[in-house]
Structure 1
């Protein structure tokens, strides 16, 4: 399955536990954040001032 920036972070982490390290490398501590259960990768990236496309690219390359 290809990860997209509109996917829910909680779903991605549950499906791909190894995504925790990749998200963490961007400074996103999404696993412990209650918002991760409702936020998309894009929404979280915006909140943290990050580029969602870069995050998704890394996730897809490494999972």
Structure 2
């Protein structure tokens, strides 16, 4: 099972599973195709957009946990 952390790059998580895109979008990160997503950590993106990084990380890890069942 994948373990997502705050320091991971958004594009890397999307490469792990494209089905994570709606999770990012639900949390307010709509610019998944922008160049910053290939260099920006989840924590940095959440900070810039004023989002809860902990809630996003939790949802991403829940997604991967369910896929691993």
Query: Aligning the two structures, in what range does the TM-score lie when normalised by the shorter sequence?
Result: over 0.9
- Runs of at least 5 residues in structure 1 that lack an aligned partner in the other structure: none
CA distance in 2, matches of 1:31, 1:14: 11
* Number of residues of Structure 1 aligned to a counterpart in Structure 2: 63
Superposed structure 1 runs of 4+ greater than 4 Å apart:
none
Aligned alpha-carbon RMSD (Å): 0.9
TM norm structure 2 = 0.85
Q: Please tell me whether residue 38 in structure 1 is matched to residue 29 in structure 2.
A: no
- Runs of at least 5 residues in structure 2 that lack an aligned partner in the other structure: 65-69
Larger radius of gyration: 2
Residue of structure 2 in register with 1:57 after alignment: 58
